[in-house]
Amino acid sequence: MYKIVAKRVVAPNIYLMDVEAPRVAKSSYPGQFVIVKMDEKGERIPLTICDIDKERGTITIVFQTMGASTKRMAEYEAGDCFADFVGPLGQPSELVHEDIEELKKKKIIFVAGGVGAAPVYPQVKWLHEHGVQADVIVGCKSKDMLILEDEMKAVAGNLFVATDDGSYGYKGFVTDLLKEKVEDEKMGYDLVIAIGPMIMMKFVAKYTKEQGIQTIVSLNPIMVDGTGMCGACRVTIGDEVKFACVDGPEFDGHLVDFDESMRRQTLYKTEEGKKLLEFEEGDTHHHGGCGCGGDK
Quick one: CATH architecture of 2-85?
A: Beta Barrel (2.40)
Q: Which residues, given as ranges, of the chain have pLDDT below 70? A: 185-186, 221-232, 264-296
Coil vs helix vs strand at 61: strand
Query: Residue 245: what pLDDT?
Result: 74
Query: Residue 224: what pLDDT?
Result: 59
Which segments of the chain belong to CATH 2.40.30.10?
A: 2-85
Q: Per residue in 233-282, pLDDT tens? A: 777 889 888 877 777 788 889 998 888 887 766 654 544 444 444 544 45
Query: Residue 185: what pLDDT?
Result: 63
Cis omega (within 30 of 0) for bond into 88: yes
Which segments of the chain belong to CATH 3.40.50.80?
A: 99-218
Using only C-alpha atoms, what is the Rg of the chain?
18
Q: What is the CATH number of domain 99-218?
A: 3.40.50.80
Residues 75-92: b if buried by 16+ CB within 10 A, e if exposed? ebeeeeebebbbbbbbbb
Query: Residue 222: what pLDDT?
Result: 60
